[in-house]
Amino acid sequence: MTTTETETTEIETMMREHRIVLGALHHHKLEKGKSLLLDKPSGREICRRFLQNLPCHTPEGRKNATSDFECQYVHPDPKPLCERWQLYGTCARDNGKKCWYAHESLRTSRRFTIAFHTSTVFGLRLLERCAEIYGAENVTSAARERQESVSGCVVCVSCGDDDSSEKEEANNEAKVIKLIGKMKRNEPHGLSMCSRIYARDERTNEDQVVDFHGDGVEWRRILERVKERWYSNREEEKEENQEGENNGKRMKKKIRTVRIRCFPKEMEIEAYKALDRLIEEAIGDDDVYGLTGPGKGISARECDVALDAMLIRGRLHVSSWRITKELDQSINQALIDAENRRKDIRPLCRAFFKMEEAILRFRLSEFITSASMVVDVGCAPGGWIQALGDEMKGNSETGDDSGIIFAVDPARLGFKPPKTVEPPVNLVHLQKKIEESIDDIHDKLNGEKLSLVACDGNSSPMAVYRWVAPLLSMVDETKGALVLTMKNFVAGKRVFYEASEELAQKLKSEHQFEETYLVPLFSNSTEEMTLVAFRKKRTTTR
């Protein structure tokens, strides 16, 4: 196996591990009951009290008081590993209860530059998008907060530069801004689903191996290191003092306000408690501590220093960095802008964001111009129509405004200005079923071909296919696309995915669509999938 093949295999293995961590919990696949207590080499049962670090009992239930007593159960060395920990990087016994089994921490630190914090509802979607945007080799870690179907999770991304020289490390702020800017341009919808962005600076990063739920974190030592770096020996302090000495007086050191952010978030409580204790001890010594937390009129965004701590598979990654205006704008304002953007658009319905996201992600602009012929089947109340109209208006071909948006639905559309947005000027609403609209569409095309067929039918894959099948012969053979959203109503998710895959293959084999993508968009519900198909393969990647 060549070096390239080995690296590819390692990347695939790493991505597979990330998908398991962020995916659905499958506890039923793990061994249950008594089988968990079997020693695999010998096949004998493991001593339960040994697993709990308790003294053994005799079979009669009395405590062992003699040195010649031998437990009838196995005492394996080392202890067996926790299967849930190995799969998901967390353990179900995280509410103050100690797991009986061993939790193996990450042997080495996996470098990353930023980490996106979101819900496990969007975890897998964010993972796949990060792999597409930054490259799978740069998605170095993924973790979830706890063993619950819905919890917080992070996806960690590296800048892809292994050079750890001082010059490169000095540009860490630029790297963070660049990575976040790339996500903002390529996936604003995914960014709006993130609640935090953590940053890591290799110059100040420290790794600690701690208990899986955060016990044993040396917050005092961490805060002392932060104080040493940002209060005692800061270059800005030296410059201020030098300026003060030139004016005949010594400048007083400025206390630094530190913003602590942790993953999992529960760790922040202990961190701020440790900071409060250090401040109290300094006051008792008639001195001031160099750090303080937000409060007393100082918000988290007005702090001087950020301390980000992330616990991933028993290894705590800790970094501190100076909060600059540019970095704060990139990390915090980017999330606020992404969320506000969705509020400012005034969509007719939430379906608008599905089409807008599909247009951006799959670069459908070339199929939606002012000269394009587009059909939306099952369009009411008009969210997709609004997105298509906006794209046509912003993607005008000079001198050709002959494009038409065919809206096919017996129901009325929701365009009611001034309460809502204006309908597209080139909208043709066929207020009837698709079976009754084929001739009308054919006549209005006047020999031209459809560039895009869309359907957000709120139905099963094959039902959606039956609605759009009569239109597929009208799609341009060289430059045509298809966007469908299917929903799972009754069947299990596996059956739904298989039916969606079957539809994708059907489009290839029977309707000459050479390229198909089946993905859950960020704007899809948990029971929806979006299928995008192209008549011809495109040379550029997504």
In the 8-state DSSP scheme, what is residue 298? Answer: B
pTM: 0.88
Lowest mean pLDDT among 156-170, 235-249, 523-537: 235-249
Write out the two tokens for 69. 């007593």
Mean predicted lDDT score pLDDT of the chain: 85
CA distance 398 to 289: 66
pLDDT over threshold 70, residue 65: no
**pLDDT number for residue 493:** 85
Q: What sign does the CA torsion over 423, 429, 433, 437 have?
A: negative
**pLDDT number for residue 34:** 45
pLDDT over threshold 70, residue 51: yes
- Give whichever of 79-83, 282-286, 321-325 has the largest mean pLDDT: 321-325
Q: What percent of the chain has pLDDT over 90?
A: 51
pLDDT over threshold 80, residue 111: yes
pLDDT over threshold 50, residue 230: yes
pLDDT over threshold 90, residue 33: no
Greater pLDDT, 89 or 95: 89
Q: What percent of the chain has pLDDT over 70?
A: 85
**pLDDT number for residue 489:** 81
**pLDDT number for residue 67:** 54
Residues 473, 448 contacting (CB under 8 angstroms): no
Amino acid in the structure at residue 483: V
- With cut-offs at 50, 70 and 90, classify the pLDDT of residue 89: confident
The CATH superfamily label for domain 351-534 reads: Vaccinia Virus protein VP39 (3.40.50.150)
Average pLDDT over residues 138-156: 93
- Give me the residue spans of the domains in the chain: 114-331, 351-534
pLDDT over threshold 70, residue 285: no
pLDDT over threshold 80, residue 490: no
User: DSSP string spanning 67-107?
Assistant: TT---SSB--SSPPBPHHHHHHSS-S--SSPPPSSB-PPPS
pLDDT digits (tens, 9 = 90+) for 378-419: 999 999 999 999 999 888 766 678 899 999 999 999 998 877
Of residues 83, 90, 89, the one with CA closest to residue 40: 83
Greater pLDDT, 466 or 57: 466
How far, CA to CA in Å, does 528 sit from each of 119, 497, 532?
17, 10, 13
Write out the two tokens for 456. 């957000």
Residues 115, 109 contacting (CB under 8 angstroms): no
Phi, psi at 408, each rounded to 5°:
-110, 110
**pLDDT number for residue 251:** 44
CA distance 378 to 24: 32
Residues 366, 479 contacting (CB under 8 angstroms): yes
Greater pLDDT, 127 or 42: 127
pLDDT over threshold 60, residue 445: yes
CA distance 70 to 48: 15
Average pLDDT over residues 285-309: 85
pLDDT digits (tens, 9 = 90+) for 335-366: 988 888 888 888 899 999 999 999 999 999 99
CA distance 168 to 178: 14
